Amino acid sequence: NPGRQWSLKDFEIGKPLGKGKFGRVYLAREVKSKYIVALKIIFKEQIEKYRIHHQLRREMEIQTNLLHPNILRLYGWFHDDERIFMILEYAYGGELYRELRKKGHFTEKQAATYIASLTHALAYCHEKHVIHRDIKPENLLLDHEGRLKIADFGWSVQSKSKRNTMCGTLDYLAPEMVENKAHDYAVDNWTLGILCYEFLYGAPPFEAESQNDTFKRIVNVDLIFPSTPSISSEAKNLINRLLVKDSSKRLSLQKIMEHPWIIKNVDNL
């Protein structure tokens, strides 16, 4: 229950699940209920050092208020002298990108199902004035039924194109982001195009040897469809209508849900 004050003695800590930039995530169990959660532990000195106090606070406020089946829950949080603890939903299926690496690429049906889930989650975020800006396979988890969960906390409220530190890959960033222009919700529509391509081919479309080459390929929308695996024309049509340089011309989230490729490949829409 969200209102309750939690503390470390309420949890038994299990195996480490992974190590993020600012903290580690552990499997944990709430002692009384035996409920399994993931506990993200961030050291306060890291927060001071990287000066992410405001971003972290904002992310946690946003995350606590996002209630959607395809968004990982933040049940609550607590802190002690040197650490902040985030009590997160445990996704039993693990990281989506490991699934992608293992399989090489997903079937059109699987890819369309994940894109539909992401589109629903983003539509929910946008109506709450939250732009994600940083969706990539590393931030996606799967639950025990293989349902997609957006898991990272790089959320930001509608920003006036606040630059986010370009840490990590450019592959998923829209042209207006890499060119540091004002950007809006449509950056997430671009990223859906990137992810759709990566789910179907196993690698993002503008991958290149250097960041500079990736940058050039993004701003030129240098989109090439390999001959294998062979992909339906509807799938290519959706990707072509999302990876559009002019952000106002990208297919809207509503139109994605009505696209023939989604309608054809996704059950229980």
Ligand X SMILES: Cc1cc(Nc2nc(/C=C/c3ccccc3)nc3cc(N4CCN(C)CC4)ccc23)n[nH]1
Residue of 19, 34, 54, 249 interacting with ligand X (CB under 6 A): 19
Q: 7: Cβ–Cβ under 8 A, 6 or more apart, which residues?
A: 78, 80
25 binds ligand X (CB under 6 A): yes
Query: Closest distance between ligand X and the C-beta of residue 172, in Å?
Result: 17
Q: 177: Cβ–Cβ under 8 A, 6 or more apart, which residues?
A: 133, 183, 187
Residue of 12, 18, 107, 263 interacting with ligand X (CB under 6 A): 18
Is 134 marked active-site?
yes
87 binds ligand X (CB under 6 A): no
Cβ(10)–Cβ(31) below 8 Å: yes
Residue of 20, 60, 78, 255 interacting with ligand X (CB under 6 A): 20
Interaction pattern, residues 122-141, with ligand X; x per rule: CB under 6 A: -------------------x
Closest CB to ligand X: residue number: 18
Q: 255: Cβ–Cβ under 8 A, 6 or more apart, which residues?
A: none
> By rule CB under 6 A, what count of residues binds ligand X?
17
Query: Closest distance between ligand X and the C-beta of residue 92, in Å?
Result: 6
Residue of 74, 151, 187, 256 interacting with ligand X (CB under 6 A): 151
In the bound state with ligand X, the residue whose beta carbon lies nearer, of 78 and 225, is: 78
Q: Amino acid letter at 61?
A: E
Query: Closest distance between ligand X and the C-beta of residue 37, in Å?
Result: 8
Residue of 95, 108, 134, 198 interacting with ligand X (CB under 6 A): 95
Cβ(10)–Cβ(32) below 8 Å: yes
Catalytic member of 134, 143, 213, 222: 134
Q: Which of residues 65-84 bind ligand X (CB under 6 A)?
A: 72
Cβ(200)–Cβ(111) below 8 Å: yes
38 binds ligand X (CB under 6 A): yes
Query: Closest distance between ligand X and the C-beta of residue 152, in Å?
Result: 9
Query: Closest distance between ligand X and the C-beta of residue 173, in Å?
Result: 20
Residues marked as catalytic: 134
Residues that bind ligand X (CB under 6 A): 17-20, 25, 38, 72, 88-95, 141, 151
